[in-house]
A and B are shown apart, each in its own frame.
Chain A
Amino acid sequence: NAGVTQTPKFQVLKTGQSMTLQCAQDMNHEYMSWYRQDPGMGLRLIHYSVGAGITDQGEVPNGYNVSRSTTEDFPLRLLSAAPSQTSVYFCASSVRATNEKLFFGSGTQLSVL
């Protein structure tokens, strides 16, 4: 039972570098999303997708891109990393957008120097 799988678990970037955080789920969930978790701020939604080919912005989308070419995968791209993007990133999915019960991946700890 893989659930939601995120890679890598840890990453260190230099300012200006780009990278992609991978997220895959094997539960045939329609809804997928990306959150960032910062100390004292709770989880904040970056981008989400209600199905393959459909994406939308969340609360803090600037500096990030997403795409959803398949039901299973929802990668998050950092275009030009900045120290303010140092955070723990979580991918989460649910059966469909109207189902609030989210299943989370184990997270990616990203440091931007």
Chain B
Amino acid sequence: EDKVVQSPLSLVVHEGDTVTLNCSYEVTNFRSLLWYKQEKKAPTFLFMLTSSGIEKKSGRLSSILDKKELFSILNITATQTGDSAIYLCALTGPTGTASKLTFGTGTRLQVTL
């Protein structure tokens, strides 16, 4: 069974800190790894990573995939209280079909003043 493990399970940091969230997996045959942010309710898309070693950036958030070591990290610099959320990692199947997404259980991030 495909397995996606996220760590830490939860994290509390102070505003301004930098955090690194981890996503490791046991699947070797997949097309993409995706990161989502879940505030209150609906997960919202952050990044899709297909190639190893290429960093994706969006403002203070960045992510990279290491297909050799089977993990991805999501970095958030200069955290703000609005970054408080659950961050979800998901793997696609080998053909990238939407129906084959395997989600991790998420990392709950709380940013305090």
Contact = CB atoms under 8 A, between A and B. Distances in A.
Interface of A: 4, 31, 33, 40-45, 48, 50, 56, 58, 90, 94, 96-107
B97 interface: yes
A98 B48 contact: no
B1 to A, nearest CB: 10
A42 B104 contact: yes
Contact of B99 (A42, A43, A97, A104): A97
A48 B103 contact: no
A97 B36 CA distance: 18
B88 interface: yes
Interface of B: 4, 31-32, 34, 36, 41-45, 48, 88, 90, 92, 95-99, 101, 103-106
Given A99-B98, A100-B34, A102-B101, A42 B88 contact: yes
Given A101-B48, A104-B42, A31 B103 contact: no
A107 B42 contact: yes
B48 A106 contact: no
Contacts of B4: 42
A102 B98 contact: yes
Contacts of B88: 42-43
A97 B97 contact: yes
A33 B105 contact: no
Q: Which of B42, B92, B97 is most buried by chain A, counting CB atoms within 10 A of its CB?
A: B42
Given A42-B4, A42-B88, A42-B103, A100 B96 contact: yes
Contacts of B105: 40-42
B98 A106 contact: no
A91 B83 CA distance: 24
Nearest to A107: B41
14 contacts: A33-B98, A33-B99, A40-B105, A43-B43, A45-B101, A50-B99, A97-B99, A100-B34, A100-B92, A100-B96, A100-B97, A101-B34, A101-B45, A102-B101
